[in-house]
Structure 1
Amino acid sequence: MTPPLLGRHRAKDGPAFDPALDDAGLAAARDDLVRGRWSAARRLLARTGEDWDRRGHRVVVLARGTASAAWAREWQLAEPGSADAAVLLACATVFRALRGQDSPGTARALCRAAAAMAPRDPTPWLAVLLLARATGGHDERARAFDQVRARHRAHHHAHHLMAACLAEHQEGDHDDPLHEVYDFAAWAAEQAPPGSPLALLPVVAHAERYRVLARAGLTDPDPARSGHWATPRARQVLRAAFDWWLEWDTGTPGATGTHPRRLVDLNHLAHAKHHEGRHAEAAALLTRIGPHATRAPWSYPDRDPAAAFRAARRAALGVA
């Protein structure tokens, strides 16, 4: 899935959303980096250590800024041996390439250089996967994903990206229940360690397929009318995911905040539960997500997202 646009902002009468989610240290470092001060990013990444999921999330958010590559380059000039500076520069250059401001070849070379400086770190390969989704073929994406997984088998963002890549492979004019994205998500969920948020990946796969079908005009752009969430397969996936969330959320104090990107999973599940018609369960999830709740990225692709979110939240909370 593609992360939302950079920056903390509030659409008029709409939900606030910050891609840093509940990572206050990341938000502060990102804001400093926008102003050309990279020392906070340096300290943040040093503290992150080998928490690979958190590191990937932090590097991606820091790298999305339009000036991030310039400031990362300045940091690298000051500390040429810094693997953190190298990976931030590589990821920022990937985003420049995705915006058409740099070449994919330059971005790939910087990613490989960053990977050579920190062989255990999956983050440079996550950046390669981000680039390959837009500019590479299936084999390149698969190789990048394999490199990430070789370093961290349950890498959250990489699995989301592969689900999005596979979902975008479209043959025919309908949703195939045997589509490869569903097999991939089921396999990843089965392979995930106990307590891993990858248990929710089948929901993400179902959501990504809806996004692709809706954008292609192959299903109703209103998720509630599309019937995509009412099939037996979808209901089974949602039931299993909600049961996992109940066990995980009640059994792990402060669990949602453990890794900010888990809020992305819960947001997917909340909207899917709403469109399935299970408003009480959706309300429980929206309440747990709190101020970070926003529209799911696949919801209502042809309608105003703020209005769609408000309608979904009112229905889920039983407010007229």
Structure 2
Amino acid sequence: MSLRSLPREIRLMRAMSREAKRRGISYDELSDQLSPEELYLLSENLPDVTRWGLVPDDEITVEPPENRTVAAARSGDWWPAAAALAERTDWDRRSALVEALAEAAAEDKDWLRSWRAEAPGDVNGLVVQTEALVRLAWKARGAAPANETTEAQFAGFHRLLGEARQSAERACAAAPEDPTPWVSLLTIARGLQVGHERFRQWWAELIARAPAHRSGHTQALQFWCAKWSGSDEQMFGFAEAAAADHPSLAALPLEAAFEASLKNPKIWQERWIRPRTDALLAWLATGGATGPYARTEHSIAALALVETKRYDLAVTQFRAVGRHADAWIWHYTELPRLKFLLARGEACRKAKKP
């Protein structure tokens, strides 16, 4: 009988006994020292992924790679952010930088306050402020389902989204050519449930400026999913149409599949998943590999390949992902690093031996 055929509890006990002996401590002492993630990983007995040329498990982080502009902002220096955004007209790369800066501001907004106070006429500061308010709103709400979210959380959520909407409207007026604040409005539309007509108006404004905007399409897909303002039919219809029109949006049908899989895991057995995955792989083999969302798209491809038992290709995608498990697809759980390690471990365990 192999170790993996034993019940998880027995595997865990055996693994903990070995680990305690290796560390020279008691079983109980080890139990007190290990996190839930570490306990689970011990029971899984993951393979040594370095044999497949992958980053060791203990080097995996859920943080994104360090960005000097964002690091400077976190330290209080907003000038590099202002300079970078003033020069950035590649809309996808601009959005990616705004998102990273907004996330930093949502954690510590002092530097953004300084930017807005010292350069009130800089529209780029207003654009970052808008997206930061959106992220603060979602943090105020929390990640729990609606029936587990308090009235106070919802009140904070809606108040901050109202502020974000006002900020976005000012940014749209001040930078009429920039699609970025329109992307923020699409996220706001979801939270405020503005309705289909208003959403379509904002959507038209976005695609008039950037027809294949990557982040904007992801936000729109979320609007059209069943848990927000649409249905599975509307979500999949939107994703398929976008991917058909723009090869750079090849990941969207798989994003839709992932969203649907949260309630229906069997969707990965659908026959259409394979050609959609192949389309994403083709995109990543060409222009997609150098895009600002490449790591996210490699992650989506890796997960889809694991779910469809195409393990050798999955290993290749995990190799491209590297050590940063920061893509949103891993963060639909309280333990994103664990989700990443388990998927990667399964890919290696079932792939051809190196």
Q: TM-score range, shorter-chain basis?
A: 0.7 to 0.9
Q: What's the % identity of the aligned pairs?
A: 27
Identify unmatched segments of 5+ residues in structure 1: 1-10, 214-218, 220-225
Number of residue pairs aligned between Structure 1 and Structure 2: 276
Counterpart in the other structure of 1:237: 273
Partner amino acid, structure 1, of 2:339: A
The TM-score, its normalising length taken from structure 2, stands at 0.69
Q: Specify which of 294, 299, 305 is matched with residue 273 of structure 1.
A: 305
Larger radius of gyration: 2
Q: 1:70 deviation in Å? A: 4.2
Once the two structures are TM-superposed, the CA of residue 72 in structure 1 deviates from its matched residue by 2.6
How many Å separate the matches in 2 of 1:71 and 1:128? Answer: 23
**CA shift digits 1:36-70 (9 cap, x unpaired):** 2211211221232x111111111111112335554
1:63 to 79, 102, 106: 102
1:204–1:52 CA distance, 2 compared to 1 (3 A): same
CA distance in 2 between partners of 1:116 and 1:43 (Å): 21
For 1:310, the equivalent position in structure 2 comes to: 341
Letter in 2 for 1:207: F
Matched ranges for 1:2-17 at <5 A:
13=58, 15-17=60-62
The amino acid across from 1:133 in the alignment is R
User: Which residue in 1 is equivalent to 2:242?
Assistant: 188
1:260 shift after superposition: 2.2
| 8 Å CA contact 1:166, 1:180 repeated in 2 | yes
**Which amino acid in the other structure matches residue 270 of structure 2?**
T
More helix by proportion, 1 or 2?
2
Which amino acid counterpart does residue 279 of structure 1 have in structure 2? Y
Call closer, same or farther: CA 1:95–1:266 in 2, change over 3 Å: same
Q: Distance in 2 between matches of 1:114 and 1:294?
A: 28
Which whole-Å CA distance do the structure 2 matches of 1:227 and 1:117 have between them?
47
- Which AA in structure 2 matches 1:31? A
Shift of 1:91: 1.8
Contact between 2:254 and 2:276, CA under 8 Å: does it hold in 1?
A: no
CA contact (8 A) 2:302 2:314 kept: yes
Residue matched to 2:72: 32
Structure 2 residue 154 is matched with structure 1 residue 114: no
1:103 to partner: Cα distance? 3.4
Q: Which residue of 2 aligns with 1:3?
A: none
Could you say what the CA RMSD is over the residues aligned between the two structures, in angstroms?
Answer: 2.9
What CA deviation, in whole Å up to 9, does each residue of 1:205-235 have, x standing for no partner?
1111223x2xxxxx4xxxxxx3221122xxx
**TM-score, structure 1 as length reference:** 0.76
Deviation, structure 1 residue 201:
0.9
Deviation at 1:165, TM superposition (A): 2.2
Cα contact 2:168–2:181 (8 A) shared by 1: yes
Gaps of 5+ in 2: 1-36, 39-57, 141-155
Task: Supply the AA of the counterpart residue of 1:273.
Answer: L
